[in-house]
Chain A
């Protein structure tokens, strides 16, 4: 079935190209149907590939039969393993949902918008399957360039153009870091295939600083896309200004994809010469802790709902990164369920906010829209279901504390309680303000079904993790993801040695602490303060919050400087902790 993988990449890309060719000659409805069908076809292909991989295991495809054999490796390959196939299917689901949603989000969505979304979809699916370092970079740039273009689509404010320019500038520099790291890898090994790099890197003892630099540069570039602090500054700005479908794709697909890309690249290419204990685990964990704290504090501070959700994504990516830094299968499975569940839930939350905004014809923030959604019963239900996931009520979120042991498990639990409390509390506060209060007159428009159906599907998906088959599959995929030798063997066509499976995660009652903390924050925000002034607790004049706010001041130069500083710090910490 591995022949299907390139087709799943080609379908959206060819569909996008055909759409450009025909959209001037056909009616709007035909364009909408064609785009939706292309998205659905990609989703179906990704699901078939996922089912096939789940049944028969991972497989490799060398394009044009250019298998490396005993000669120099010139060919490029896709390796479809359970983790990559699952990530691709989730990404396809999110982007297809965004395509359906766009139809009623814009007054008149142009064909170009669908073209950009489909190009992004193709590149993201390819990124999940790619087994070649340069391919990874190219697909990463393709989906980024499409995202830059979407972020400025049909926005007529100067601040919106500035937001997307910031997004594009910071991320272009981040892309340079990834490219620089990959070139250094190629220079020291002569290989571009990830598995081949991983095989020949240990022989290059002399180039230890170069390997450390390559790791740090790639980590900095992917962390910037993964919204990990301190490289997340562009993230809320673009969410506040960009069209909602892009927010859905960025928070719901790009952040998990970037973290997956980092884990895959690190494990296959670097882990033999740089084991997790020699720096990488520390770098990932440190970025995670900073993200969890900064994201939580900034989330509570926001009045604008889209900014608030953007910071919730930063905080959740941080918790997932802390869990991933254990580099054990149960921790990976927990992080995957947690971040996957959150990604779908936040996509639904963004859509719910957009439904209220489109019917009210005004921006939704806590001041302006108290009670705006009071009569939106379905939208309110969607928002409440999404909030449950963010606040750690559903089993998919609580899976994060199941894996790991000792100090690491305590750190994961503490950050989970902090993040669920702050972001879940903020979402509950937003729910009570927008959907319960009685201030602004709520009006009823036509029910926008094309917006509500994908939103409902997104907030319902995390509930699937309650079925035992899902955690079992994720556990197996995490086990395969960590089995570096197996991936290299499949990739290069050697004999595969099957490793014993890891330990299945068991639920911990302590995880309910997170929900409790969310309830406490929500209670403090809602019941103990007057309705509109309640946010001021966190916008207050205390020194820490002011410093935090000043760091997020919107200076692109400073953001690029943070990126350079983070890459240098990561190089230094890897070099310092080498034995």
Chain B
């Protein structure tokens, strides 16, 4: 295993987190969370990858003869995509509500003193 996939994942993650911290628009901020999330797909696929291996589809019983990439990591990446899509959709819906109720799409920089 080389260090390159880890480095790429770390860089994408750092970019996404930086964007989340620095964004001035809610939609950008949410997209940056998605970017950070996509670093985990890279990480998952790279730990399941094996040089020279084919897709993990085995038609005959003794599967050990055929070299395939790790199917578990791919299944996990798929689950991860679903989780991420659900979160992003919900975040965007909330951002829309913030925009509708106050006309602003900037992240809150002031603590609200209201509430119960």
Chain A residues with a Cβ under 8 A of chain B: 74, 134, 138, 141, 145, 148-149, 152, 156-166, 168-169, 172-173, 175-176, 179-180, 183-184, 186-187, 192, 237, 240-241, 304-307, 353, 357, 363-365, 552-558, 560-561, 564
Interface string of B103-116 (1 = CB under 8 A from A): 01001111110111
In whole angstroms, how far apart are the Cα atoms of A162 and B26 in the complex? 10
Contact A555 B90 (CB under 8 A): no
Contact A152 B36 (CB under 8 A): no
Contact A557 B21 (CB under 8 A): yes
Contact B43 A163 (CB under 8 A): no
> Which of A159, A161, A305 meets B114, CB within 8 Å?
A159
Contact A305 B108 (CB under 8 A): no
The residue in chain B whose Cβ has the minimal distance to the Cβ of A213 is B10
Contact A186 B47 (CB under 8 A): yes
Task: Please give, as numbers and ranges, the residues of chain B lying within 8 Å of A306 by CB-CB distance.
Answer: 115-116
In whole angstroms, how far apart are the Cα atoms of A365 and B115 in the complex? 9
Task: Please give, as numbers and ranges, the residues of chain B lying within 8 Å of A162 by CB-CB distance.
Answer: 98, 108, 112
Shortest beta-carbon distance from B30 to chain A in Å: 7
Task: Please give, as numbers and ranges, the residues of chain B lying within 8 Å of A157 by CB-CB distance.
Answer: 101, 114
Q: Is B33 an interface residue (CB 8 A)?
A: yes
Q: A180-B40, A187-B47, A564-B17 are in contact. List 9 more A-B contacts (CB 8 A).
A: A159-B115, A169-B20, A169-B30, A183-B43, A186-B47, A192-B72, A304-B116, A305-B116, A560-B20
Shortest beta-carbon distance from A72 to chain B in Å: 9
> Which of B73, B97, B114, B116 meets A186, CB within 8 Å?
B73
Q: Is B86 an interface residue (CB 8 A)?
A: yes
**A560 and B72 in contact (CB under 8 A), knowing A149-B90, A158-B102, A306-B116?**
no
In whole angstroms, how far apart are the Cα atoms of A169 and B109 in the complex? 14
Q: Is B91 an interface residue (CB 8 A)?
A: yes
- Nearest 7 pairs between A and B by C-beta? A240-B115, A554-B111, A159-B112, A187-B47, A158-B102, A557-B21, A158-B101
Shortest beta-carbon distance from A536 to chain B in Å: 16
Contact A307 B83 (CB under 8 A): no
Contact B111 A557 (CB under 8 A): no
Shortest beta-carbon distance from A137 to chain B in Å: 8
Contact B21 A561 (CB under 8 A): yes
In whole angstroms, how far apart are the Cα atoms of A186 and B74 in the complex? 13
Contact B90 A556 (CB under 8 A): no
Interface string of B27-57 (1 = CB under 8 A from A): 0011001001101100110010000000000
> Which of A145, A160, A186, A557 meets B87, CB within 8 Å?
A145
Contact A307 B72 (CB under 8 A): no
**A165 and B33 in contact (CB under 8 A), knowing A180-B13, A241-B115, A564-B17?**
no
In whole angstroms, how far apart are the Cα atoms of A67 and B111 in the complex? 51
